């Protein structure tokens, strides 16, 4: 018994070490957020804990032009992009998993192929496309909708593939059980499958969230007005703007920005519990 416990303790100690190593830069960011700029720039040796913790940095950045506007913009972009992308991807994943149709293999390879395109090579033509959207005669440059569409297309391939992978992992017996229950094929599919593929939906949503939240190159390229930019662009401007980089402010802003992502993940995680599969198969 004690050997087992010893092993368990060992694993948990390792877990804590991994935690410490991974989180160190984040810790550095947060602790710097509470330091005064004089302490940050003036000290010759790195200070592990802020000597005179202050909230000055936080108040300074939240009052800077467009901070909250850009946070709002980012939230809009991300939520719309995720919602649409996850729905579209799930539908396509179901089609790929359940049905044998001509062009299925081609579609799969196409999804991967699309990911092989170097994004920065597409900067100019995408800009041209969004500046003169055909049929709709819109200029979507400098508008969030242009960016949203780009982000959706960026996360779709991975999302489709991942959800398909999760669908494949679901034992056939469950589907059959659902169909015997009397629902139509598709109805059973959605009602039974949704909870089972939940972990996959979580992973894909979080992935889409993070990609959109952190994306830099296209947001920078397509959004010019301070009022329509996303928070990554705001941060980049903050870094490149001031003559002397305001480290404290930058770290404070970054800390604030990281919070919604953590919040989102915790929220999604709690609503869709892992391990539902186990119960279903045993039952």
Site for other proteins in 88-107 (CB under 8 A): 88-89, 91-92, 94-99, 101, 104-105, 107
Residues numbered 104 to 123 that lie near other proteins (CB under 8 A) are 104-105, 107-110, 112-123
Euclidean distance between the first and the last CA atom of the chain, given in angstroms as a whole number: 31
Q: Which of 4, 45, 52, 270 binds other proteins (CB under 8 A)?
A: 45
- How far apart are CB 63 and other proteins at their closest, in Å? 14
- Residue closer to other proteins by CB (options 75, 179) is 179
Classify burial at 251, counting beta carbons within 10 Å of its beta carbon; exposed 0-12, middle 13-18, buried 19 or more.
Answer: buried
DSSP-assigned letters across all residues of 33-80? HTS-HHHHHH-SSPPSS-SS--SHHHHHHHTSTTHHHHHHHHHHHHHH
Check binding of 261 to other proteins (CB under 8 A).
yes
| CB of 124 closer than 8 Å to CB of 181 | no
| CB-based contacts of 60, cutoff 8 Å, min separation 6 | 246, 248, 249, 252
**Alpha carbon distance 247, 60 (integer Å):** 12
Q: Is 68 in the site for other proteins (CB under 8 A)?
A: no
Q: Using the rule CB under 8 A, is 226 a contact of other proteins?
A: yes
User: Please, what is the minimum distance in Å from the beta carbon of residue 53 to other proteins?
Assistant: 18
Binding status of residue 143 toward other proteins by CB under 8 A? yes
For other proteins, which is the closer residue by CB, 42 or 53? 42
Question: Would you count residue 164 as binding other proteins (CB under 8 A)?
Answer: yes
Q: By CB under 8 A, is residue 194 in contact with other proteins?
A: no
Give the Cβ contact number of residue 19 at 10 Å: 10
By three-state DSSP, how is residue 275 classified?
coil
CB distance 231 to 215 below 8 Å: no
Nearest-approach distance from CB 197 to other proteins, in angstroms: 9
User: Which residue in the block uniquely carries the two structure tokens 């039952």?
Assistant: 283
Does 31 participate in binding other proteins (rule CB under 8 A)?
Answer: no
Could you say whether residue 173 binds other proteins (CB under 8 A)?
no
Residue 77, interface with other proteins (CB under 8 A)? no
Binders of other proteins: how many residues, by CB under 8 A?
139
- The answer to the question of residue 33 lying near other proteins (CB under 8 A) is no
* Separation between Cα atoms, residue 270 and residue 206, nearest integer Å: 13
Structural element, H or E, at residue 210: helix 198-214
Q: Among residues 53 and 121, whose Cβ is nearest to other proteins?
A: 121
CB of 176 to other proteins, least distance (A): 12
Residue 275 Cβ vs other proteins, minimum distance, rounded to whole Å: 6
**Least distance from C-beta 152 to other proteins, angstroms?**
6
């Amino acid at each position: 018994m004690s050997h087992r416990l010893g092993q368990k303790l060992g694993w948990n100690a390792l877990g804590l070490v991994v935690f410490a190593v991974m989180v160190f830069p984040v810790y550095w960011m947060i602790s710097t957020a509470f330091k005064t700029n004089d302490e940050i720039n003036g000290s010759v040796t790195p200070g592990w804990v802020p000597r005179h913790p202050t909230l000055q940095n936080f108040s300074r950045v939240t009052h800077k032009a467009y901070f909250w506007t850009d946070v709002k913009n980012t939230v809009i972009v991300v939520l719309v992009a995720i919602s649409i992308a996850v729905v579209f991807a799930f539908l396509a994943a179901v089609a790929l998993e359940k049905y044998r149709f001509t062009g299925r293999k081609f579609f799969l390879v196409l999804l991967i192929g699309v990911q092989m395109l170097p994004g920065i090579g597409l900067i100019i033509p995408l800009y041209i496309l969004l500046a003169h959207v055909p049929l709709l005669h819109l200029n979507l440059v400098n508008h969030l909708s242009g960016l949203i569409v780009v982000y959706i297309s960026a996360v779709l391939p991975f999302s489709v593939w991942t959800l398909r992978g999760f669908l494949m992992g679901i034992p056939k017996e469950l589907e059959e059980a659902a169909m015997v229950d009397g629902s139509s094929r598709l109805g059973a599919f959605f009602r039974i499958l949704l909870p089972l593929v939940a972990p996959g939906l979580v992973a894909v949503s979080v992935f889409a969230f993070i990609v959109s939240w952190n994306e830099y190159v296209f947001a920078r390229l397509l959004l010019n007005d301070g009022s329509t930019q996303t928070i990554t662009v705001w941060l980049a401007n903050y870094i490149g703007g001031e003559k002397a980089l305001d480290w404290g402010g930058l770290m404070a802003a970054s800390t604030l920005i990281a919070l919604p992502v953590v919040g989102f993940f915790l929220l999604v995680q709690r609503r869709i519990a892992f391990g539902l599969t186990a119960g279903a198969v045993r039952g």
